[in-house]
Amino acid sequence: MTRSVEWPPSWWAAVTKPRPLAPALQGEASADVVVVGGGFSGLSTALHLAMRGRNVMLLEGMAVGWGASGRNNGQVIPTMSAAEPDVIVKRFGETGERLARLIGDSAATLFQLVRDEHLECEAEQTGWFQPAHSPGRIKLSEQRVRAWERFGSPAKLLDREACARLLGSDFWYGGMLNPTGGHINPLALARSLADACVKRGVQLHEQSPVIDYTREGDGWCVRTAAGAVRCRALVLVTNAYTDALESKLEPRISREV
């Protein structure tokens, strides 16, 4: 069965260069790794596995970037929205420290990948700035800069004068600047990542919603309506859309993100 892909209304869908859909999976196939989900996580996983010489198949139920990956605001922000790195480390220990370092370097990693793979996504690495609207908030900005510096982030504190030069407004009291942040067209990024995956040898199939997967020996069998693929490893990265196309795909995580 082939689904027609109707794109939810968005600015990105209206202005981004389209790409031909990859063929749906038909018949029997095999791979080292099957990745289910064609958002940023799935595309990045497939691309980096292919770079390491793995035979990878990526199955997407609609079209790459159809979900949240292709509809977000495109800001590349190398920080966390609701928790400081020290809080994460205190709660999760060494794992939290690795997460903090990963996030602190995440924007640099993305833009380097854009350059290395020549991804066409309107990338602008012009930095990310979090302004402070009161004297109390500038103290908080200073604490955040010091916290992120401990985990290798290039964040720095701007005073009111430097902030005014950066933004052209003297309303703010200063703030935290991370020069590695920036902005991308998220749908273009997803589509360009898909092209990079194919160039690296990834078997990409769109309009191929997975309806079931089962353990077979030391591997897996992943099934769609028109085909099946056997693999040594399976990566499920359907995120908030885990039950959108097949309600019984993975009930344990269908209500989580």
- State percent of the chain over pLDDT 90: 86
Measure the CA angle with vertex 108, ends 105 and 110; round to 5°. Answer: 105
Which SS3 state, helix, strand or coil, does residue 44 take? helix
Compute the distance between CA of residue 163 and CA of residue 161 in angstroms, rounded to an integer.
5
pLDDT of residue 110: 97
Q: What is the pLDDT of residues 152-190, one digit of tens each?
A: 899 999 999 999 999 999 999 999 999 999 999 999 999
Which SS3 state, helix, strand or coil, does residue 183 take? strand
* Confidence category of residue 4, pLDDT binned at 50, 70, 90: low
Q: What is the pLDDT of residues 212-254, one digit of tens each?
A: 999 999 999 999 999 999 999 999 999 888 988 888 899 888 8
Phi (first) and psi of residue 59, to 5 degrees: -110, 125
pLDDT surpasses 80 at 2: no
Q: How far is CA 48 from CA 36, 95, 183, in A?
A: 15, 22, 22
**Which residue do the tokens 């924007």 mark?**
107
* Confidence category of residue 1, pLDDT binned at 50, 70, 90: very low
- The candidate with the shortest Cα–Cα distance to 238, out of 17, 66, 98, 4, is 66
